[in-house]
Structure 1
Amino acid sequence: MRQVVLDTETTGLEPSEGHRIIEVGAIEIVNRRLTGRRFHQYVNPDREIDAAAIEIHGITNAMLEDKPHFADVAAEFLGFIEGAELLIHNAPFDVGFLNAELARAINGGCALPVAAIEDCCTVQDTLKLARTLHPGQKNSLDALCRRYSIDNSQRVVHGALLDAEILADVYLAMTGGQTALFDEETAAIEVVATEGFSCEGGTPLVIAPSAEELAAHEAYLEVLDKKSGGRCLWRLLG
């Protein structure tokens, strides 16, 4: 299964008011493993960036003067995400901006294979997923990093590529069946014991994990290895 974790930074909040994308970051996951493939591009928006937006991501117009326009990189971007499941935190925001940019590029004479992101990808909103898993709790990216012990210390300001990398780690932890032992928002931990287990002829019963369970285990070890700087004991002793 191929997934692409995606994030954007913009000049403001509303594409309907003419706001534009200024950065796109995307990370590839195949069968729950980070492949190292990524797409990253800063974009010249041909308009001023709102001061409030600059405070969030730190990107200024001066930094984008020599960068390509979205129409110049749209085909490459679509080629990278084609056929994948996109994982986006608060997906309606980013998809709305991306579709507005695609429409603008096509209206400007750019020949593109699709007119909307949904025409070449499926989209999963990880914010919606997090709210399902943790109802009534904070589910911002920073809150999820705390809940799943993901290092986000480099996130002084928002950045599309950095946020995509962090979201990839969060998603793998969030869907891998493992959480931190002591969640800051967990009041109690229920321990369930299996009673009446017996072995035939004194030989322990071995239940082999499924391919999906093995993949989830590997994904979680990868998160642990990354967080520990390559000192995951399971892998060092394995």
Structure 2
Amino acid sequence: MNLIIFDLETTGLLPSQHEIIQIAAMKVQNGRWDAGEYFDSYVRPENHIPSFITKLTGITQAQVADAPSPVDVLMQFSRFVGQNATLIAHNGLRFDMRFIAENCMRHGIPVRETSALDSRSFSRKIWGGKGGHGLDAVLSRLGLSSEGVKRHDARGDVQLLAEAVKQMWTRLTPSFKDCPVDLSVGVIPALA
């Protein structure tokens, strides 16, 4: 099974009102967890980044001023994803996939369906209703440290999430051929 572990940083929480400012992703092919195939890009928003987002993410207006447009980055991301990959993000179905779908609609980008899942599904299957399923709670349960990794920067969060998904997946099944949680459907830009 080919997986894309990814994360977005945005100017706020509402896909209909806010913009993507960073995308990072890592490819996992046939169970090979290798950060060698990696994607990351800042995205130039149409509006200014709110100060509280800069405080949270560390992403400044200067860093995105000369970044590629949302259309360019989303198309590059779609090419990186390729065909027949499953996208995984933490809170991905409610947040990341909705931001991608909304940005595609906002910018008139044709879309294609892709399988997707929320990595919180692994956590719920392993730990049930205990103690929440945010990324920090999952990292703590797995004994994974975020020391030396910048949290709320898509690049750092992807590294942490990839290790968390790997550990949770192998707790549920030793094989990376079949997904141990239910898949959903999301959309990303159609390939030309």
Identity of matched residues, %: 29
After TM superposition, which residue ranges in structure 1, 4 or more long, deviate above 2 angstroms? Answer: 154-157, 212-216
8 A Cα contact 2:150 2:157, kept in partner: no
1:161-193 Cα offsets, whole Å, 9 max, x none, are 211111010011011128xxxxxxxxxxxxxxx
Aligned partners of 1:12, 1:80: CA distance in 2, in Å?
25
Q: Distance in 1 between matches of 2:50 and 2:121?
A: 27
| 1:61 counterpart = 2:61 | yes
Decide which of 79, 93, 96 is 1:94's aligned counterpart: 96
Relative to structure 1, the CA distance from residue 156 to residue 80 in structure 2 (aligned partners, 3 Å threshold; closer, same or farther) is: closer
Does residue 26 (structure 1) correspond to residue 28 (structure 2)? The answer is no
Aligned residues: 173
**Amino acid corresponding to residue 33 of structure 1 in structure 2:** R
TM value normalised by structure 1: 0.67
Greater relative contact order, per chain length (Cα 8 Å cut-off, separation 6+): 2
Please show how residues 170-181 of structure 1 align to structure 2 within 5 Å.
170-177=164-171
- Structure label with greater radius of gyration: 1
- Distance in 2 between residues matched to 1:34 and 1:7, nearest whole Å: 17
Q: Please tell me the residue identity of whatever aligns with 1:43.
A: V
Which structure: greater helix fraction?
A: 1
CA offset digits 1:6-27 (Å, max 9, x no partner): 100001111222x100000000
Paired residues for 1:29-44 under 5 Å: 29-35=28-34, 36-44=36-44
- Backbone CA RMSD of aligned residues: 2.0
What's the counterpart of residue 126 of structure 2?
A: 133
- Structure 2 equivalent of residue 143 of structure 1: 137
Give the alignment's TM-score, normalised by structure 2: 0.82
Aligned equivalents of 2:60 and 2:46: distance in 1? 12
Matched with 1:209 is none
Structure 1 residues without counterparts, runs of 5 or longer: 107-111, 179-211, 217-238
